[in-house]
Structure 1
Amino acid sequence: MDISVYRPGELSGADRAAWTAMQSKAHLHGSPELANPFLSPEFTLATDRVRRGVRVAVVREGGEAAGFFPFQRSATGVGRAVGLGVSDCQGLVHRPGFAWDARELMRACGLAVWEFDHLAGGQEPFGEGASGVFPSPVMDVDQGYESYLKELRVRSPKFTRTTLAKERRLGRDAGPVRYVHDERDPAALRVLMGWKSAQYRRTGRSDRFAHEWITRLVTRLFHSRSESFAGVLSVLYADGRPVAAHFGLRSERILACWFPAYDPAFAKYSPGLVLHLRMAEGAAADGIAYLDLGRGQKDYKDSLKTREIPVSEGWVTRRHPVAVGHRARRAPVRALRNTVQSRPELFEPADRLLKRMGRIRTERR
């Protein structure tokens, strides 16, 4: 393999076009997950503006680009997926039938270890280092919204009936309901981030928007728009007042769900669920094939999904002391988290404790 490593801004126009073309045609070659917007050049470029060490390895065969591998690298050679912690799809974007050697790629990138937590399917050279495989629920809308809703009524009749009834009740009680699929008002984005921060604190979770780089990244992506990529802010209004919102990323065929939140004052109307049904309708109208709800077990995801796609977490390592040390530090933490999340008898009391701590923290503010 002929491998060159660049800063994202150093990529030529031809390379960026080749990367986008690979994503655009991925579904035609049986690898639709490669079209995920988290694997796009736009996401990598935006992350490079707010994080250090972002690089892209371009793998060539016969002088032509065969694959693009975005990653982050520390000074000691510890590699991470671009935006690890907020990225919901990772891997190497490649042309059909391309095979690569993971350790040869890592050597060329100067990496002792590369860590991932949402590795896309079809990444066998990296998959050898996977420590676990997890479901990522999706909502298929490629046959149109009515087809999706019909399937939902068959599979989850009570959920569908109740959610649609709550939308009608919201309109009666609070005023006319209006949905904007692609809201361009930055003020609405600030409202969403405020709701999400409050939710993190209320439930005892780490507030992602307390990290300046995440706020800057989301804001930058909100203003990113092209035919193949865009940040999409969807808002549900009642009588002109926002009651639920979501910010995600769109490629030509996939809407990656990312940051959903709602106004707790309207909780009894389940505005977040209403919003997701409206998002499915809007995405179908835009020609989206499916909405990726992201890894993580949630009741609302189980109710909305039509199927699941597998994603993996783990490490690819070379024989190097840095790799040994990094894995020794990270493996126990990941193993404990996954054990707790997969066992209700452990997760439920842990979740209650986090929420109790969140209430205490909120009361002290």
Structure 2
Amino acid sequence: MDITVHHPAGLSGADRAAWTSLQTRAPALGSPQLANPFLAPEFALAVGRCRGGVRIAVIREDGRPAAFLPFQRSALGVGRAIGLGVSDAQGLVHRPGFRWDARELLGACGLSVLEFDHLVEGQSPFGGTALRAHASPVIDVAGGYRAYLEGLRARSPKFARTTLAKERRLGRDVGPVRYVHDERDPAALLTLTRWKSAQYRRTGRSDRFARPWIARLVRELFHTRTDSFAGLLSVLYAGERPVAAHFGPRSGSVLSCWFPAYDPQYAKYSPGLVLHLRMAEAAAAASMAYLDLGRGASAYKDSLKTREIPVAEGWVMRRHPVALGHWARRAPVRALRNAVLARPQLREPAGRLLERVGRLRSRE
């Protein structure tokens, strides 16, 4: 394989265009998972502006780019998928039918191990016993919003009926409901991040926006707009008050549901659910294929989804002491966490414990 490794700033315009072309054509060529915005060059370049160690491997055939692998590398040669921990789709973006040798690729990138937590389908050279599959729910809207809503009413009639009734009640009690699919006011983004930080603390979870690189990444993506990619802020208003909002990246065919939150003052109206229905309607109107709700068990995702797509968690390794050390340190932690998340009888008590911790923190 002809492999070169680049700093994001050193990626040529021609290579960026080739990468975008591979993504744009992927749905029509049978690989819709490669069109996810987290696999776009714009996302990789934004992470590169916010974190060190970001690199992009370009694999060429006959001098032409055939595949791209963005990753993050430590000084010891430990590799992580780009944006690991916050990205909902990871892997090699490649032409149809392209095959590669994973360990040869790792060697060319100077890596002993490469870790994923949302490896998309069609990445079998990275496969093996060190990868575990998980389900990621999606909302299909390629058939139009009316078809989605009719399907939702058939699958979950009570959920659909009560959610739409709450939207009407919100309009009567608070003010006319208005939805802005592409809100460009930075103040609205700040409101969303405040809500989300409060939600993290309230539920006893780590506040992602307390990590400077994530806060900066969101701002970078908010100001990133190309024909094939944008950081999309969507806001639900009641009267002039924002009551729910979402920020996430979108490609030409996929909207990734990334950071949703709402004002707890209006929780009884379920504004977050109303927001997701409005997002689905707007995505359908824009001729998008689906909304990716992201891996993770949640009642609202179960209610909204039409199906699930597989993503994988784990790593690919070369024979190297650093790789073995990384595996020994990371494997038990991941196994314990996944055991809890996979079992409702464990997951629910763990969630309640985190909420109690969050309440104690809020009193300090």
Matched residue, 1:176: 176
1:350 counterpart letter in structure 2: A
Residue 212 of structure 1 corresponds to which residue in structure 2?
212
> Structure 1 CA distance, aligned partners of 2:310 and 2:234?
26
- Alignment match, 2:202: 202
**Counterpart for residue 77 of structure 2:** 77
Aligned-partner Cα distance in 2 for 1:350–1:335: 15
Paired AA for residue 165 in structure 2: A
Preserved contact between residue 130 and residue 312 of structure 1 (Cα < 8 Å) = no
1:177 is displaced (CA, Å) by 0.6
Residue 269 of structure 2 corresponds to 269
Q: Give the Cα–Cα distance (whole angstroms) in 2 for the partners of residues 66 and 129 of structure 1.
A: 27
Residue 102 (structure 2) aligns with: 102
Q: For residue 19 of structure 2, what is the aligned residue in structure 1?
A: 19
Q: Say if 2:343 is the partner of 1:343.
A: yes
Alignment-derived partner of residue 235 in structure 1: 235
- Deviation string 1:50-92 (CA, Å, 9 cap, x unpaired) is 1000000000111111100000000000000111110100000
Classify the secondary structure of the residue corresponding to 1:278. helix
Looking at structure 2, the residues matched to 145 and 196 of structure 1 have their Cα atoms a distance apart, in angstroms, of 27
Taking only aligned residues, the RMSD between alpha carbons, in angstroms, comes to 0.7
CA distance in 1, matches of 2:177, 2:305: 24
Give 1:129 deviation, angstroms: 5.1
Structure 1 contact 112–317 (Cα < 8 Å) conserved? yes
One-letter amino acid of the counterpart of residue 151, structure 2: E
CA displacement at 1:12 relative to structure 2: 1.0
Query: Is the 8 Å Cα contact of residues 204 and 354 (structure 1) preserved in structure 2?
Result: yes
Deviation of residue 258 (structure 1)? 0.1
Query: Which residue identity is paired with 1:216?
Result: R
Q: Are 2:35 and 1:35 aligned?
A: yes
Kindly indicate whether residue 134 of structure 2 is the aligned counterpart of residue 134 of structure 1: yes
CA offsets 1:229-259 (integer angstroms, 9 cap, x no match) = 0000000000110000000110000001100
Determine the C-alpha separation between the residues in 1 that align with 2:57 and 2:344: 41
Please give the per-residue CA displacement for 1:124-158, whole angstroms capped at 9, x wherever unaligned: 01122543101000000011111111111111111
Question: 1: distance between equivalents of 2:131 and 2:61?
Answer: 31
Q: Equivalents in 2 of 1:210, 1:73: separation in Å? A: 23
Asked whether the equivalents of residues 129 and 316 of structure 1 are also in contact (C-alpha less than 8 Å), the reply is no
Partner secondary structure for residue 192 of structure 1: helix
Aligned residue number for residue 187 of structure 1: 187
Q: Which whole-Å CA distance do the structure 2 matches of 1:319 and 1:306 have between them? A: 41
Q: CA deviation at 1:28?
A: 1.2
The equivalent of 2:256 in structure 1 is 256
Give the corresponding residue for 2:65.
65
Q: CA deviation at 1:286?
A: 1.2
Inter-partner Cα distance in structure 1 for 2:201 and 2:209:
11
Which residue identity does 1:24 align to in structure 2?
A: T
Answer yes or no: is the 8 Å Cα contact 1:127–1:312 preserved in 2.
Answer: no
* Counterpart Cα distance in 2 of 1:167 and 1:238: 10
Is 2:288 aligned against 1:296? no
Q: Could you tell me how far apart the structure 2 residues matched to 1:40 and 1:135 are? A: 22
- Would you identify which runs of 4 or more consecutive aligned residues in structure 1 move more than 6 Å? none
Query: 2:301 and 2:9 mapped to 1: Cα distance?
Result: 36
Query: After alignment, is 270-279 or 348-357 more displaced?
Result: 348-357
**How many matched pairs?**
364
Residue 144 in 1 paired to residue 144 in 2? yes
**Equivalence for 1:89:** 89
Residue type matched to 1:93 in 2?
A: V
1-structure distance, mates of 2:173, 2:126: 52
Structure 1: which 5+ residue stretches go unaligned? none
Structure 2: unaligned runs, 5 residues or longer:
none
Any conservation in 2 of the 1:129–1:315 contact (CA below 8 Å)?
Answer: no
